[in-house]
Amino acid sequence: MSVEDLNPRAREGVIHPEVRAADDESERGQDGGRLQHAEAATKPIRAPQTREKQPRGAKIRGDRPIDQAEAAERFLAAPLHQAAHDERLWDLRKKRDTSAHGIPEWEELRELASAIKAHTLTHLDQYLEQFEAAAKANGVQVHWAADGADHNRIVLEILRSRGAKTLVKSKSMLTEECGFRHHMAANGIEIIETDLGERIQQLDNEEPSHIVAPAVHKTRMDVAEVFAKTLGTDPDNDDAHYLAESQRETTRPYILKADAGMTGCNFAIAETGTVVTCTNEGNADLSGNVPPLQIHSIGIEKIIPKVEHLGVFIRLLSRSALGSPITQYTSHFRGPRKGTEMHMVLVDNGRSARLGLEEFWTSLKCIRCGACMNTCPVYRRSGGLSYGATYSGPIGLIIDPTFNKRKYSTLPFSSTMNGSCTNVCPVKINIHEQIFAWRKVLVEEHHIPALKQGMMKAAGAVLSRPAAYRAAIGAADSALKVLPRFAVYNPLNTWGKKREMPDAPRQTFHAWYKQNRMQKPAKDAAPKDAAR
Amino acid sequence: MSARAGILAALKANRPAGDYPLPSVPDFAPLVGDDLVEEFGERLKRMGGRIADGRSGEPLEGVRERLAEAKVIASAVPEIAGNRDLRAVRYPQEVEDVDVAVVRAVFGIAETGSVLFTQDELIVNAVAYLAQHLIVLLDPADILPNVQAAYKRPEFGRSAYAVLHTGPSATADIEGVLIHGAQGVRSLTVLLMPR
- Residue A255 with chain B: CB contacts under 8 Å: 183
- Residue B162 with chain A: CB contacts under 8 Å: 331-332, 334
- Say how far apart CA A95 and CA A88 lie, in whole Å: 11
Q: Which residue in the set B28, B43, B151 is minimally distant from A105, CB to CB?
A: B28
User: Nearest C-alpha of chain A: how many angstroms from B81?
Assistant: 24
Q: Do A45 and B25 touch (CB under 8 A)?
A: no
- Residue A252 with chain B: CB contacts under 8 Å: 96, 183
pLDDT of residue A459: 52
Helices A431-444, A450-464: axis angle to 10 degrees equals 120
- ipTM metric: 0.98
CB A365 within 8 A of CB A319: no
User: Nearest C-alpha of chain B: how many angstroms from A510?
Assistant: 39
User: Nearest C-alpha of chain A: how many angstroms from B195?
Assistant: 24
pTM: 0.89
pLDDT of residue B1: 83
pLDDT of residue A450: 61
Q: Which residue in the set B14, B119, B182 is minimally distant from A353, CB to CB?
A: B14
What integer best gives the mean pLDDT of chain B? 97
Q: Which of A50-59, A105-114, B109-118, B171-180 has the lowest mean pLDDT?
A: A50-59
A283: which residues sit within 8 A by CB, 6+ positions away?
A170, A171, A194, A195, B182, B183, B184
Q: Which residues of A394-415 are buried (b: 16+ CB within 10 A; e: fewer)?
A: bbbbbbbbbbebebbbbbbbbb
Q: Which residue in the set B20, B159, B161 is minimally distant from A122, CB to CB?
A: B20
pLDDT of residue A468: 53
Neighbours of A240 (CB within 10 A): 22
A96: which residues sit within 8 A by CB, 6+ positions away?
A319, A320, A321, A322, A323, A371, A374, A424
pLDDT of residue A23: 79
Q: Which residue in the set B8, B159, B164 is minimally distant from A334, CB to CB?
A: B159
pLDDT of residue A463: 53
CB B46 within 8 A of CB A15: no
User: Which chain A residue lies closest to B46 (C-alpha atoms)?
Assistant: A35
* Spans of chain A, pLDDT less than 70: 1-13, 449-508, 512, 518-532
pLDDT of residue A4: 54
